[in-house]
Amino acid sequence: MDEVFRALADANRRSLLDRLNACNGQSLRELCAGLDMARQSVSKHLGVLEAAGLIATSWRGREKLHYLNAEPINAIAERWMNQYDRERANALADLKTVLESEPMADNEFLYVTYIRTTSERLWTALTDPAFTTRYWGVALKSTWQTGAPLSFEQFGVLIEDPEQVIVESDPYRVLSYTWHTMTEEFGDAAGIDREWLAKAKQEKRSTVRFELEPQGETVKLTVRHHGFEPGSTVLASINEGWPAILASLKTLLETGETLPEG
C-alpha cells in the first residue's frame, strides 16, 4: 500500500489516472496529447503507476495500452477515507470519480486486469485443469454447468464437498463458484498453521466470480471474491494470493510461460 500512496502523491500521476478513468485503454501518445509534460516524463509516471498496480497494460501491435485498475484506490478508500473526516482528504478530491466508480466493501476482494487473449482461451484457462495447475497449482474439475459440483485438488489433496458448486456458468462471459472447504488434510499438506485453519473453518463459505469482457485485442477480467465477514481470516489470505495467481495467469496466456516461483 505504501507504493500506492507514493504514486498518488504526485498531481501529474493523479491527472493521468483521471484521463484513464474518462477513457480507458490509451497509448502513451494519446495520454501525452494535451499535456504540458515531456513524453519521457509521462512514461516515467506511468511506470510508477504500473508498479503500484494502479494501471494494467497490454500491447496492440507496437502500441502499449494503459488501463485503470481502481482496486488499490478502492482499498485505500475503504481502509482510510471512511475512518477520517473527509475534509482532511482534500488532496485526493480529484480522484472522486475513480473512488466512486468501483465501490468496494471490506468483505470482498476485487481485481481488474486486461489480458491479451480471447474470451474463449481465457475461459479454457479458468476451467481446464491442464491450465489451472500451471499458473495456480490447483486442478479444478467440474462439468462447469450451473449447480454442478466442483472439486479442488492441490498439494496431493482432493477436496470435495456438497457445498462446492458452480453458482453461475455463462461460457466466455461469467463463471462463479463457491470456495473450497478448509480441511485438516489440506492444511497439513499446505503447511497451514492450525490456529489459522481453525479460524478459517469457522467462517462461512465465500464465492468467487469471474467476469470476461472482450475489449479489442484484450479481455477485461474482473475477479470478485465475496461473501466474507469483516475481519475474515480467509479474506486476508485471499488478498495476498489472488494477485499472484492472476498475474501468473496473464503471463501464461500472453507469453506461454508462468511467473517464476518465490
Q: How many domains, in total, are found in the chain?
A: 2
Give CA–CA dist 107/235, Å, rounded.
Answer: 8
Let me know whether 82 and 144 are in one domain.
no
**Region of residue 96 (phi > 0: left; psi between -120 and 50: alpha; otherwise: beta):** alpha
**Region of residue 190 (phi > 0: left; psi between -120 and 50: alpha; otherwise: beta):** alpha
Q: Which of 111, 136, 119, 112 is nearest to 174 (CA)?
A: 119
Count CB neighbours of 189 within 10 A.
13
Q: Which of 261, 250, 235 is nearest to 78 (CA)?
A: 235
Let me know whether 16 and 132 are in one domain.
no
Quick one: pLDDT at residue 132? 96
In a domain, 261, yes or no: no
pLDDT tens over the chain, length 262 residues:
678 888 888 889 988 988 887 787 888 988 998 788 898 999 999 999 988 888 888 776 788 888 887 667 665 654 555 454 444 444 444 444 444 444 444 578 888 888 999 999 999 999 999 999 999 999 999 999 999 999 999 999 999 999 999 999 999 999 999 999 998 998 899 898 889 899 999 999 999 999 999 988 899 998 999 999 888 999 988 888 888 899 899 989 998 876 665 4
Let me know whether 6 and 89 are in one domain.
yes
In a domain, 262, yes or no: no
Let me know whether 158 and 94 are in one domain.
no
Between the two ends of the chain, the Cα-to-Cα distance in Å is 20
Let me know whether 129 and 250 are in one domain.
yes
- Boundary-marking domain end, from 56, 79, 101: 101
Let me know whether 125 and 162 are in one domain.
yes
- Boundary-marking domain end, from 60, 80, 101: 101
Let me know whether 87 and 185 are in one domain.
no
Let me know whether 127 and 80 are in one domain.
no
- Residue-number span of the structural domain to which 33 is assigned: 2-101
- Boundary-marking domain end, from 101, 127, 159: 101
Quick one: pLDDT at residue 229? 87
User: What's the pTM?
Assistant: 0.62
Quick one: pLDDT at residue 74? 60
Let me know whether 18 and 121 are in one domain.
no
Task: Give CA separation, 36 vs 23, 29, 31, 131, in Å.
Answer: 19, 13, 11, 46
Q: Which of 34, 206, 37, 41 is nearest to 107 (CA)?
A: 206
